[in-house]
């Protein structure tokens, strides 16, 4: 795999990005795979992991860091999902106009939280060849209820109201542990602590603005623009962070061509390692689906 570092702008922020190129000649007419990170994700974690797989198979892959993350411009810890959607849209526009992507179709891969972000990012004016929603969730309030229960959600909403009042009075939001807003299951917590926190850029405190943005995140309610866009839903059948019912619900309501594939005996992310058999099986499924997409 050959990395081609580059950058693009999103709402005036210079975002760090890379094309990942096959060692040999890319497959003719194959789509560019744009891999989008989930919550607090960095391009040198899962996007590069996807790129190592796809570049070996002859695909061009593209990854980037959202505004405020790693080397990208923006306020560190300021996480607003609507802004990340705009970053994805600008990434699509940049790839389409770049020599490494020009003339090629685009497949969007959204990991975790980005499984929903990519659904919001596709616009009717700029269709893509396909979308992969990988271990995502599609109604944030439903997931909050699954993790916190009724009483816990009530307490959390009280916290959100207090945080917003603080911002209204002080003009500046508080910074909190990100997992006070986005709770983890024990298995995912172990992976985050043992693997992801080894990356020095991972896991800063986040602005409490994230809470309201997250609670409003429900991409399953606005899918009409995707009626002609193929969708692959990949989901761990034992995912305790984003329950399997999230994948089932998206499959039920999605208006376009769709396929749901379970990653068997898998939670959310503990198996996301290049040499793990479960990861390799999931990537074979994703690659096979991408290769089955109609060519223009």
- How many whole angstroms separate alpha carbon 271 and alpha carbon 116? 21
**Structure tokens belonging to residue 175:** 């910074």
Q: What Cα–Cα distance (Å) separates residue 108 from each residue in 87, 98, 115, 131, 168?
A: 13, 16, 9, 5, 37
pLDDT surpasses 70 at 129: yes
Q: At what angle do helices 46-56 and 277-292 cross, to 10 degrees?
A: 60
pTM of the predicted model over 0.85? yes
Proportion of the chain above pLDDT 70, given as a percent: 98
**Structure tokens belonging to residue 101:** 């992507």
Which CATH number is 249's domain given?
Answer: 3.40.50.1820
What does the pLDDT look like over 207-262, one tens digit per residue? 999 999 999 999 999 999 999 999 999 999 999 999 999 999 999 999 999 999 99
Q: State the average pLDDT over residues 39-49.
A: 91
CB atoms within 10 A of CB 56: 13
Q: What Cα–Cα distance (Å) separates residue 160 from each residue in 5, 102, 163, 180, 213?
A: 39, 44, 5, 11, 11
**Mean pLDDT, all residues of the chain:** 92
Q: State the average pLDDT over residues 57-84.
A: 94
Q: Could you identify the residue written with the tokens 């068997």? A: 264
* Nearest to 33, CA basis, from 100, 83, 97, 85: 100
Q: What Cα–Cα distance (Å) separates residue 15 from each residue in 45, 111, 149, 263, 280?
A: 16, 19, 38, 32, 30
How many structural domains comprise the chain? 1
Q: Contact at 8 Å (CB) between 163 and 177?
A: no
Least confident of 4-13, 17-26, 49-58, 77-86: 17-26
- Note the pLDDT of residue 296: 59
What does the pLDDT look like over 99-123, one tens digit per residue? 998 989 999 999 999 999 999 999 7
**Domain boundaries, position 226:** 2-292
- Note the pLDDT of residue 199: 73
What does the pLDDT look like over 145-171, one tens digit per residue? 999 999 999 999 999 999 999 999 888
Question: How remote is the C-alpha of 31 from its chain's centroid?
Answer: 18
Q: Contact at 8 Å (CB) between 78 and 68?
A: yes
């Amino acid at each position: 795999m050959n990395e081609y570092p580059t950058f693009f702008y999103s709402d005036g922020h210079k975002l760090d990005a890379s094309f990942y190129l096959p060692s040999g000649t890319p497959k003719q007419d194959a789509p560019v795979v744009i891999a989008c990170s989930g919550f607090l994700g960095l391009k040198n974690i899962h996007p590069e992991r996807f790129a190592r797989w796809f570049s070996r198979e002859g695909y061009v892959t593209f990854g980037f860091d959202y505004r405020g993350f790693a080397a990208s411009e923006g306020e560190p810890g300021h996480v607003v999902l609507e802004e990340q959607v705009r970053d994805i849209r600008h990434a699509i526009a940049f790839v389409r106009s770049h020599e490494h992507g020009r003339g090629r179709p685009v497949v969007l891969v959204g990991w975790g939280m980005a499984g929903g972000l990519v659904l919001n990012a596709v616009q009717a004016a700029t269709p893509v060849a396909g979308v992969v929603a990988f271990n995502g969730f599609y109604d944030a309030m439903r997931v909050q209820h699954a993790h916190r229960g009724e009483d816990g959600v009530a307490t959390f909403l009280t916290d959100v109201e207090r945080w917003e009042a603080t911002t209204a009075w002080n003009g500046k939001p508080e910074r909190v542990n990100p997992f006070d807003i986005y709770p983890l299951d024990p298995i995912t917590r172990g992976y985050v602590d043992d693997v992801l926190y080894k990356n020095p850029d991972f896991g800063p405190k986040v602005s409490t603005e994230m809470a309201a943005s997250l609670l409003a995140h429900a991409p399953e309610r606005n899918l009409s623009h995707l009626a002609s866009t193929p969708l692959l839903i990949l989901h761990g059948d034992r995912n305790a962070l984003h329950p399997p019912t999230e994948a089932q619900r998206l499959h039920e309501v999605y208006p376009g061509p769709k396929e749901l594939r379970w990653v068997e005996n898998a939670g959310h992310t503990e198996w996301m390692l290049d040499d793990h058999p479960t990861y390799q099986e999931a990537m074979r499924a994703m690659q096979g689906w991408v290769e089955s997409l109609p060519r223009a």
